[in-house]
Structure formats: structure tokens, C-alpha cells
Structure 1
Amino acid sequence: MIGDGKLLTNAHCVEHDTQVKVKRRGDDTKYVAKVLARGIECDMALLSVESTEFWERAEPLHFGRLPRLQDPVTVVGYPLGGDTISVTKGVVSRIEVTSYAHGSSDLLGIQIDAAINPGNSGGPAFNDQGECVGVAFQVFRSDEVENIGYVIPTTVVSHFLEDYERNGKYTGFPCLGVLLQKLENPALRACLGVPSNEGVLVRRVEPTSDASNVLKEGDVIVSFDGIRVGCEGTVPFRSTERIAFRYLISQKFAGDVAELGIVRAGSFTKLKAVLNPRVHLVPYHIEGGQPSYLIVAGLVFTPLSDPLIEEECEDQIGLKLLTKARYSLAKFKGEQIVILSQVLANEVNIGYEDMSNEQASIFMMTLVLKLNGTRIKNIHHLAYLVDSCKDKYLVFEFEDNYLAVLEREAACSASARILKDYGIPAERSPDLSEPYVDSLGVNHPVEQHEFGDGPVSNSEFGFEGLLWV
């Protein structure tokens, strides 16, 4: 309870919700809560309860400062369910930029040795003064380690709440959109014209980031808003500590401007870049909870997403599609990987049931590239192309040079029958019934080399000398 009729919990606790109910400790009455905002990256959710009875004699929590190493913490929650509250105690083991599993993001996190288990999620962590210093959200499990739990610090919680207050919704944590390499080697620094023991090398710039307008591969970032960046990719943190450079970016809000001090071809200069949330080619979560889909004569198209990858077996996704999903970058805002997820067998699509894996007994999803020669930008673009087509045939071009041709009038005639046979209420998701707006402009062509053709190799993600910010 944070006051003003609002509650905080983890985003993963209310994911895919249809109705959320809450109750107070020692009370059997359940009250309906409304989810006001979900912060996927920070795994936070803001709820409201309208009932005045729920808030009677309730005292809101007070947020405390960021704790220090070995400070005692008390975690409160309902591990493994249960009807009574559970309290565990420990100390702060570490404070650093941490990987948030729910949002696949890197934000400041507090590692503690107090027991955290399923059911603790969304529960507060207190210091000795009774102040809330964070929210429990994940635990690291392994046969080799124990007692590693994680708490979202109040700095991240406050950022989430301020974002909501500023915009009336959650807009997300911004990113710079660059892949950086550490500059620990003196010869490498000398070659780049960096005179001192500082800076990180720009190896790649995401095309959808504002940084692509000002930064180039080969630039060396030596400062961020006047704060010097070390050759290990760290910046000063509190009095005697250092922390990952990404921490400074996470303190900003979407639309904020950052001043970058860079060395380019041996010369120092200052640039400004607008920070915005990262554009994911394959989203980790689906907006609104319901995936987009389009059915054309039994051919089911949908955007590739992380939930879909987790749901399907690797054999159905295929190594090539998995590689593209994990390591390709979006070339423009709104770009999606559109796939043929299945074929609803009918005489109009005969011969296409196992188009991508004719030697196997299962259907393998495949990437659709073009319709009647036009490169497909996203699922909404595909629906627009199908609706506006006047040609006799619908010609779908897939990866690996596979072709599927449907007679347009026969396809339209068969659609209603196919939907009835398979008990499907509509040929498309509701979002595809909205007018199509081309973010690139109607006449902007998408060349083959522009579309998802910027894979980041496994080594770039696995090598400790490289980091995304």
C-alpha cells in the first residue's frame, strides 16, 4: 500500500489478468483491484482499489534510501501460498545492474540472502527503521549456489511511479541503442586516439535509436552528461563504488536528452542524443495480451514473439528462425517478423500443409517475406496488402524460396467455410480491422538487405567485453 488508493506489486503477478482481487491481512473480504499500469522492464505494476472500506485504518509504506552492503533487510510475503504472512531476514549482499528476467532488461537491483520463494513476489523488503527499501521479485536457483534473492530498489520503483504520474501511463525505461566494447587494452585505446584510461567503443548502433543520427561505429564514448565513463564500461556510484554505465541511462525518462562526450578519429567532441525505449523486433510481451493474427484461406499468419517461441517446441520454430529472433535488430519502428504459424487444411490450400518441412511429420513455422512482390513490413501491412489486392492470384513468397499461390476469389469464398469448420470466430484479430498507417510512408520500399538483415552474432552477446546499453 503506497497511499492515494494505490497498491504496488510485480508485473508478472498480474500478467494476462482478467480480474484482480486483493485482501488485507486478517480480513476475509476480497476487493476488486484495477491494474493502472504495468512496467514490463522493471517488473512493476500499479493497482487501484476504489472501495473505501479496504483503506480504513490503512497506513501507506514509506520508501527508504538505497541500502548499503550488509544492511539488514526483512522480506514479507506469502511464499508457496499459505494463509498467513511469512517474514524472512537477511542482509544486502550486493547492489549492481541486474538482469530482470520478466522484462529481459538490465536495471539496478539489490541482491539479498534472505529467503525468497514463489509467493514472495510483489512483497516489500524493509530496513531496520521499518522503511520499504524495495520489492521482492526474483530468485536465482542453481545446484551450485543458494540464498540469492533479488529486490527491486526504491530508485527503480520511484522511476516507475514518476513515469506514470508524468504521462498518465507507463512509457518505459529508455536506452541509448548501442553495442559497446570495453577499452581495457592500452594498444586499442592508443589506436583509437584515446589519451587516457577511459571510454567504451561503439561497435554497433541500433537503426531505430536516435543515436543512429549522431553516433558512428568506431566512436568512443568517454562521458555521459559530464560523468566520465571508465574503460571497463563503469561510472562512479556513491562514494567509493563503481557501477555499469547502463545505470546512468536507466535514470533518464523517455524523451530525455543526454549529452555524450566522444572521441572520433582522435578528436574530442560533444553530441546530444534523445533517449527512448528500445524497439524490439521480436517482443518479449504482447501488448494487450492477445496476439495479432490473419487467416487467408486457411493460412494462419502471426508476428513472431517471445511467448510464441516459449509455447512452441524448437522443432516447430526451427534454428534459422530462432537465430533471426534472437540476434536480428529492427530496422524501423513497427517492423515485425511475420510467420506462417499453421495451415488449416482445406481443398483451397491443398499441398501447403507441410510446405516448410516436407520430410518431417510436424509443421514447421516459416517466415513470409513478400506478397505479390511487395516486401512485408508487419502483420498489419500484410492484412492491408491482402485487402487491397486486385490481382487474380495471391502470391506468397517465403524464406528458403518457397512459393504459395492462391486464387484470390477462391480464397475469399473459402474463408467463411474454413472459419466455420474450425470454430474460429473471425479471420483476423480486432487490431487488424483498424485502418493501416504506414510508419515509413506508403511509397517507401523495404529492400531485402534492410529487412532483419543485421544479426548480432552469438559471440557478441556472450563475450564479456561487449555490452548493450
Structure 2
Amino acid sequence: MTIRFFLVVAMGILVAAGPCFGDRNNAIETKVLRVFTAKKASYYHKPWKSPDFNELRSSGFFFKDDRSFPHQKGLILTNAHAVSMAQSIRVSNGREKRRYNVRILGVCDTADFAVLQMEPAELEIYERINGKVEPLELGDSDKLRVGDKVLGWGYPLGGEGISKSDQGEISRIEVKAYAHSRDMWLMVQASLQQNRGNSGGPVLKEDKVIGVSFQGMRDSDRINFFIPINLVKHLFPSLQNPGLICTWQLSVQHMFPRLKEYYHLDHDQGGVLVAHIIPGGGPFEFGLRENDILTHIDDNEIDNFGEVYCPDLEQRVLFIEVLNRKRVGDPLVVKVIRDGKTLIIKGVLTRGLPRLVPKLFTGANYFIFGGVGFVDLTLNCIENLGKSGDTFRAKYLDEYPEHPYQKVVIISEIFPEYGLTDSSEYLKRVEKVDGKEVLNVEDLYNYLQSAKKSGKKKALIQIDRNLQIPLDLDNAETLDREIQNKYGILYMKTPDGFSR
């Protein structure tokens, strides 16, 4: 305590004299920051339990963008997975130990980036100690090509100072699933030497930011990925309006010779088969149907592997990149072959629907009723379950919903007060209640409340393999109150209302 107090006082003395590290305003260690985040480690499979807290360390950097953030200072770019749902966020640099308070301006979980801002009073102190902040300039990632040299900066684990990644080479530019969200976006692979803690740091080419570090491969050396900065700039407006992001869910199948023969297509006909779309979802509302052969999107011809030529990148990428470069409401034209006839569908890009098993960036949907805990299955929940979640992962993770806002509802816990000596075989998917199919946790909760109010005495939960769990509607409230008091449960259902 004495040492910490002395340093604070000493810092106060030096502040009055100006930048205590000399006139080095452009030094990279004052532009690239270490990000300290305190986050809840929630129990998504049993969200009624009180969470633990973890501290995470990552990287970030000062930037400016007058188009999306005019006249704003102290802007910091980092990863969403570092700060999403954070309880507190502070930043520091490689020169000093002081940590500065920042606030979240917006988080884009789907593309794994976030914008923070240093509070004005904090920024004033930061600049007195470190000199005037000269933000890093954002470049043009569409100009990147395979073979280009880039370098990265950040704060990997194992030390306090800033670390420079040796110059690496770009080896791939392609659309792949982001680990944080599982959504498909353009990413760049480079042979940079980066480790945990580098996430959120800038990737530079010719002193301009062309990407944000965000993930790597654990079992491989020098295989790391970064978010192209043009994607970040394109999605800046969605920080205030997430509805601008297209979230189409559709399954397409590559066209091979026998499949072309079945649909009476020429052997050189391009396109992919629309294998599944959600009734009422974005592609459906736009006009696509199952078994359509999607041949063109805007003026781009789709090949049999679902790729189009992107002039900006001067290479082929998955056709989803055309959608990703638009916003909901933008004009869209597609050409399909349906029942042997060529159709041109014109309209505007529509918003999609959530996954059957989504990744959560908010609290979980759950409730406890009659001694049984029900939860919407999420990727977070599967990860919490460890090996026990492998069955759910294999069975549901990549499945598509059959109805809008459909989820997989599971029984996550049967409390001892319910009366079962061994409940393990009942921790499965809820399929029906009183013969009615269950859409999601909210649907099940509303049904049970309505049944109770109507005077019904019992309800029957049917789960996977037709196992049955009866609920005593008459005594459910008394039993649940006992459980809440005994186990110190704060909320018996999602406190801020169920989310879609």
C-alpha cells in the first residue's frame, strides 16, 4: 500500500511538469494499449447460479474515423470477445502502470470488434503524462493481396511491455466463421508470431491499420488471423443500429455432375442448390425458396462451389461476401433457376433470424417451475457442460430452425425437492408440453402460466425418447419458493425479460 501511494503522489508531481516520458508523442507504445476487463463468468447451463468473475487481458489501439465518429477523441478499437458484457474496462500502455477508465461506445459481436472511448478527464491526464495522442490511421484492407508483408503490435501474455510481431506474410483472404460469433465474415490469415493477449491489437502495413488481430490456431505456429479494417469501417454504423446487419441463414449445396443431371442442367451451368431456408426468414421473405438453384447475386456469377469473383479483392470468395458488403435495406438482385425456369428476383436485403442454437452475448433465457429448471440451449451452455455437452453439440449445433425464433429447450436441472433420486437421464430436450410442441423457453413459460391461471392441476413435459416429467401446477409456487430460499437463488427466471 505504501509503494502504491508513493507512485500516485509522484505521478501527480510529474504531471505538472508535462509529459514525464519526454517528447515522444508518436511512440507506438502510447498508441497501442493493454486492455483490462472484468467480466462475469456466467453458468449458462444453470443461469440461476451466481456467476464468478474473471479478469481478461487483451490489446487495443487509439484510432480516429471522422466519418463515423466526427470530432470525437480518445477512441479505442479492440475485440468484442475482450469486452462484451464486461463489468469494468480499463486501459494502460507499455510505459506506465496507471490504468485509465474507458466506456463502451459500441460492440459488434458478430464481427468481433468493439469501440471504446477514454473519458475526457482520463484522456487529459493520459496526454499530460504520455504526450498528445496521435491516433493510428485506418488504411484500406481491400488492397491487401496474398504475399503482402504486415506486422502486428500488442501485449501478449508473459510480460508488461508492448511486443512487436515479426513481419509476417499474408497467406489467405477468405470468408470463414469467426470463433466468437460463428458468423461468416471475411478474414485474413498471416504468418505473424502472436499469442494470447495480442487480440485487439493493430495489424499494420506501411504504418496504416489494415486489420485487428482476433484469433489464431492453438496447435500451429505462426498461423493467426485478423479482421480486415474495411469490414470494421463498414459495420461502424451497426454499433448504434444492429438491425443493419444481414443475418441470413440458408444452407446451400455444391452442384456436382449427377445433381446437375437430375435438375436437367448443362454440365457447365454454374450455381448452388438452396437446400434449406427458414420459412419466414430473411431469404424466404426476399423470395428465395428451397430447391432454387442460385446462379447470380447482383452482377456476380456464382460457381458450383458458391464462390464469386470480387473485383475489390481481385480474387474469388464465397458469395456471402456480396451480402456482407451490404446493409439491410440495400437493393439486391438475384437470379435463380426454379422448376427449370430462370427467374430474376429484385428487392431489398432483408434481415434474417437467429440460429437454432445461438451464441449468447446477453443473459440466458431460463426459468424454474415446479422444481425443474428450463434453459434455451446455446453454444455458451454447451461449452459450460464440457463433455456432457458433446451430445447436444453433435445433434443440434449446426441444425437450422424449422420455425422463426425456434430454440432447443432443455431441462438443465431437476432439484432434489422435485422428488427424483437420479435425474441425469431426464436432462434432455423438451419436445412437448401437454402434447403441444415447444417453440422456446418463453413459449413454454407462457403456456405453464396460462395453464395454471385456467385452473389446470397438472402439466406433462415430454422430452427426448418420449420420457415424461409431470408438473404439479397447484403446488409449483410453494415448491419454487422453498427452492429459492434454500439455494439463495436471486431470480427464478430471466430478470430483464426473455430475449429473442
Band of TM-score, shorter chain: 0.7 to 0.9
1:91 and 2:159 correspond: no
Does the C-alpha gap of structure 1 residues 84 and 249 become closer, same or farther in structure 2, counting only changes over 3 Å? same
- Name the aligned partner's letter for residue 333 of structure 2: E
- Check whether the contact 1:339–1:366 (CA below 8 A) recurs between aligned residues: yes
Q: Give the Å deviation of 1:42.
A: 1.0
Secondary structure of 2:134's counterpart equals coil
TM-score by length of structure 2 reads 0.77
Q: What is aligned with 2:344?
A: 270
CA distance in 2, matches of 1:329, 1:120: 34
1:330 and 2:391 correspond: no
- Check whether the contact 1:208–1:279 (CA below 8 A) recurs between aligned residues: no
- Check whether the contact 1:163–1:171 (CA below 8 A) recurs between aligned residues: yes
Q: Give the Å deviation of 1:224.
A: 0.6
Alpha-carbon displacement from aligned partner over 1:48-83 (angstroms, at most 9, x marks no partner): 222244263112221112222222211000111522
Correspondence 1:26-425 to 2 at 5 A: 26-54=95-123, 56=127, 57-66=132-141, 67-88=144-165, 89-128=167-206, 130-142=207-219, 145-164=220-239, 168-171=240-243, 173-183=245-255, 185=257, 188=260, 191-194=263-266, 196-213=268-285, 214-238=287-311, 240-272=314-346, 274-287=349-362, 290-315=363-388, 317=389, 319=391, 321-346=392-417, 349-351=418-420, 353-355=421-423, 357=425, 365-388=427-450, 389=452, 390-425=455-490
Q: Give the Å deviation of 1:240.
A: 4.7
RMSD of equivalent CA atoms: 2.5
Q: Give the Å deviation of 1:172.
A: 6.7
Alpha-carbon displacement from aligned partner over 1:240-268 (angstroms, at most 9, x marks no partner): 52222121121122343421011223322
CA distance in 2, matches of 1:378, 1:419: 23
Does the C-alpha gap of structure 1 residues 197 and 404 become closer, same or farther in structure 2, counting only changes over 3 Å? closer
CA distance in 2, matches of 1:336, 1:190: 34
Secondary structure of 2:475's counterpart equals helix
Moved more, 97-106 or 177-186: 177-186
Note the residue ranges of structure 1 that are not aligned, 5 or more in a row.
358-363, 440-469
- Check whether the contact 1:174–1:278 (CA below 8 A) recurs between aligned residues: no
CA distance in 2, matches of 1:408, 1:187: 53
- Check whether the contact 1:75–1:114 (CA below 8 A) recurs between aligned residues: yes
Q: Give the Å deviation of 1:184.
A: 5.0
Q: Give the Å deviation of 1:237.
A: 2.3
Q: Give the Å deviation of 1:106.
A: 2.0
Secondary structure of 1:118's counterpart equals coil
Alpha-carbon displacement from aligned partner over 1:333-383 (angstroms, at most 9, x marks no partner): 33221111111111xx213x53462xxxxxx52122333343322212222
Secondary structure of 1:95's counterpart equals strand
Q: Give the Å deviation of 1:119.
A: 0.9
Moved more, 261-270 or 119-128: 261-270
- State the aligned residue count: 416
Does the C-alpha gap of structure 1 residues 264 and 194 become closer, same or farther in structure 2, counting only changes over 3 Å? farther
CA distance in 2, matches of 1:327, 1:134: 29
Moved more, 304-313 or 176-185: 176-185
Does the C-alpha gap of structure 1 residues 240 and 423 become closer, same or farther in structure 2, counting only changes over 3 Å? closer
- Name the aligned partner's letter for residue 304 of structure 1: L
CA distance in 1, matches of 2:115, 2:470: 48
Does the C-alpha gap of structure 1 residues 44 and 240 become closer, same or farther in structure 2, counting only changes over 3 Å? closer
Does the C-alpha gap of structure 1 residues 127 and 153 become closer, same or farther in structure 2, counting only changes over 3 Å? same
- Check whether the contact 1:293–1:300 (CA below 8 A) recurs between aligned residues: yes
CA distance in 2, matches of 1:189, 1:257: 33
Note the residue ranges of structure 2 that are not aligned, 5 or more in a row.
1-61, 65-71
- Name the aligned partner's letter for residue 134 of structure 1: G
Q: Give the Å deviation of 1:18.
A: 0.7
Q: Give the Å deviation of 1:136.
A: 0.7
TM-score by length of structure 1 reads 0.81
CA distance in 2, matches of 1:416, 1:301: 16
Alpha-carbon displacement from aligned partner over 1:211-260 (angstroms, at most 9, x marks no partner): 22422333221111122212332111237522221211211223434210
- Check whether the contact 1:97–1:243 (CA below 8 A) recurs between aligned residues: yes
Secondary structure of 1:312's counterpart equals helix
- Check whether the contact 2:278–2:404 (CA below 8 A) recurs between aligned residues: no
Q: Give the Å deviation of 1:197.
A: 3.9
Does the C-alpha gap of structure 1 residues 211 and 429 become closer, same or farther in structure 2, counting only changes over 3 Å? closer
- Check whether the contact 1:112–1:148 (CA below 8 A) recurs between aligned residues: yes
CA distance in 2, matches of 1:279, 1:132: 32
CA distance in 2, matches of 1:293, 1:186: 47
CA distance in 2, matches of 1:208, 1:46: 33
Secondary structure of 2:120's counterpart equals coil
Moved more, 198-207 or 111-120: 198-207
Q: What is aligned with 1:445?
A: none
Alpha-carbon displacement from aligned partner over 1:369-398 (angstroms, at most 9, x marks no partner): 333343322212222222222212233222
Q: What is aligned with 1:465?
A: none
- Name the aligned partner's letter for residue 160 of structure 2: D
Does the C-alpha gap of structure 1 residues 240 and 295 become closer, same or farther in structure 2, counting only changes over 3 Å? closer
- Name the aligned partner's letter for residue 28 of structure 1: K
Does the C-alpha gap of structure 1 residues 116 and 387 become closer, same or farther in structure 2, counting only changes over 3 Å? same
- Check whether the contact 1:257–1:275 (CA below 8 A) recurs between aligned residues: no
Q: Give the Å deviation of 1:94.
A: 1.9
Does the C-alpha gap of structure 1 residues 169 and 240 become closer, same or farther in structure 2, counting only changes over 3 Å? closer
Q: Give the Å deviation of 1:152.
A: 0.6
Alpha-carbon displacement from aligned partner over 1:82-129 (angstroms, at most 9, x marks no partner): 22111112222221223311111221111111211101100001112x
Moved more, 106-115 or 23-32: 23-32
CA distance in 2, matches of 1:75, 1:375: 52
CA distance in 1, matches of 2:259, 2:409: 45
CA distance in 2, matches of 1:186, 1:324: 29
Q: What is aligned with 2:36?
A: none
Q: Give the Å deviation of 1:11.
A: 0.9
Does the C-alpha gap of structure 1 residues 189 and 84 become closer, same or farther in structure 2, counting only changes over 3 Å? farther
CA distance in 1, matches of 2:422, 2:488: 22
